[in-house]
Structure 1
Amino acid sequence: MTMRSMSGVLAFAALMALGGCSSTMVEPEHYSGFLPDYQRLKEEESASGAKVARWVDPSLNLSRYNSVYIEPSQFYPRPQPTDQISQNTLKDIAQYYDTALKRELGKVIRVVNSPAADSLVIRPAITAVSSSTEGLKPYEVIPIALVVAATTTAVGARDQEVQIATEAMFLDGGNSKLLAEVVRKGTGTALENKETALTVQNIKPVVDGWAQDLRLAYERLKPRQ
């Protein structure tokens, strides 16, 4: 494999490295169990400077894939909606994740409705993150974890920080061989207080950043015509 190809492979595996200005690493104790093998994940720095946990098959050659199939994103584990995070919001978040990935990847590779032998298959999940602030108990493990931020408002109420995490695997469309894995998280737009309902707008900047970074990383390996 040439140096150019190797750098492209590593850039592609970096993936989802924008969105959110706090930690982008998911602690191993908060891995969801969605990926088949966490042991080979290593902390790396992505092309845009964010820390991610990832693994890439050293023999990966993206030039053999002429299309990409993006499986519908799923929640793992399955969440229980709350007053603050409704079932409709969870549905909207999953649909927006799909939309963002297809929008960005569609700019650089053909997105197909079913996998073929020449397809790269992306299997994304929105996964559970459990976080806590000193003196406070963690919220229940749900795909969107809300933690009380350190900053207080003028009326004394604390902002609610919104964190969303993803785990994704990349497969060969012909033989289902696992090609890469990645785990990361991001911080969305804070909620005013614990009574404020979450909407998809709170997490759009994070998801947009993940999708844009995936496209940019893919472009680095795209063969020049």
Structure 2
Amino acid sequence: MRFPLYASVLTLAILAAGCTSHVTNQQQYSGFLGDYSELKATESPSGKPTLRWISPDYHDADYKGVVYTPVVYYPAAHPTARIDQQTLDAIRSYTDTQLKHAISQRKPLVTQKGPHTLVVKTAITAVSAENEGVQFYEVVPIAAVVASTMAATGHRTQNSALFLEMEALDAQTGKPLIKVVRKAFGKNLPNNSAPITLNDLRPGIDEMVRDALTFPAQ
């Protein structure tokens, strides 16, 4: 399911009082993974909340190599007043480079699908700026909504965040074996007009990569 646009929501999150959500909610799923029904709330190796599913048929020792698919934006990203195309490209490139290196530390990267091989696919599904302490949202670039309610709170400090969806499949059967949906926070932004940069998001990206290196094997 793609992100419908609401005047007062970010990526389908319903406007409500409360703390900033630390995990992706069901309304924010991009559709990249297809089926999200078996995802369970858990913790990443670094202790951060995440959503994950591991097939009972997956046994890490059975797989000797990984066909790595470059990170994409899903849906396609478009520049806005807060994030230009150069920054979008830099965020995707940095995430891709770091994640590819992390996965290569776990298993050898291969170019051909074959027996005992995983295919890893990853998408950045949103880059967001969220007001601290309340559920006012602005998504960049996927939903690109500037809510009218933001005008009254324009000077509130915001959290920068990146949404990531990833899956690993058996290369021969195409059967999904691992699914992860993760929301990682970067640096704070001073207000709702401050540009979002790679430097803002880098801490969150790096944290996710470290978690990929220490992902629990079965």
Deviation at 1:73? 0.8
Equivalence for 1:16: none
Q: Is the 8 A contact 1:127 1:167 kept in 2?
A: yes
Q: Is the 8 A contact 1:161 1:190 kept in 2?
A: yes
Q: Is the 8 A contact 1:144 1:163 kept in 2?
A: no
Deviation at 1:167? 0.8
| Whole-Å separation in 1 of the counterparts to 2:196 and 2:115 | 40
Residue correspondence of structure 1 range 103-114 to structure 2 within 5 A: 103-114=101-112
Relative contact order: is structure 1 or structure 2 higher (C-alpha 8 Å, sep ≥ 6)? 1
Task: Let me know the Cα RMSD of the aligned residues.
Answer: 3.0
Equivalence for 2:180: 182
Deviation at 1:23? 4.8
Residue correspondence of structure 1 range 1-225 to structure 2 within 5 A: 23-128=21-126, 133=131, 138-140=137-139, 142-143=141-142, 157-217=155-215
> What secondary structure does 1:110 align onto?
coil
> What secondary structure does 2:27 align onto?
helix
Q: Is the 8 A contact 1:67 1:120 kept in 2?
A: yes
- Structure 1 pair 110–73 and aligned structure 2 pair: CA distance change class (3 A): same
> What secondary structure does 1:169 align onto?
strand
| Whole-Å separation in 1 of the counterparts to 2:48 and 2:101 | 22
What amino acid does structure 1 have at the position aligned with 2:84? S
> What secondary structure does 1:38 align onto?
coil
Deviation at 1:114? 4.4
- Structure 1 pair 114–146 and aligned structure 2 pair: CA distance change class (3 A): farther
Deviation at 1:97? 1.1
Deviation at 1:119? 2.1
| Whole-Å separation in 2 of the counterparts to 1:46 and 1:136 | 24
Q: Is the 8 A contact 2:80 2:141 kept in 1?
A: no
| Whole-Å separation in 2 of the counterparts to 1:115 and 1:144 | 35
Deviation at 1:178? 0.8
Aligned residues: 192
Q: TM-score, normalised by structure 1?
A: 0.73
Deviation at 1:141? 6.0
- Structure 1 pair 62–85 and aligned structure 2 pair: CA distance change class (3 A): same
Q: TM-score, normalised by structure 2?
A: 0.75
Deviation at 1:170? 0.8
Deviation at 1:168? 0.8
Q: Which runs of 5+ in 1 are unaligned?
A: 1-21, 148-155
| Whole-Å separation in 2 of the counterparts to 1:203 and 1:141 | 13
Q: Is the 8 A contact 1:121 1:173 kept in 2?
A: yes
Q: Is the 8 A contact 2:160 2:200 kept in 1?
A: yes
Deviation at 1:69? 2.0
Deviation at 1:88? 1.3
Q: Is the 8 A contact 2:32 2:74 kept in 1?
A: yes
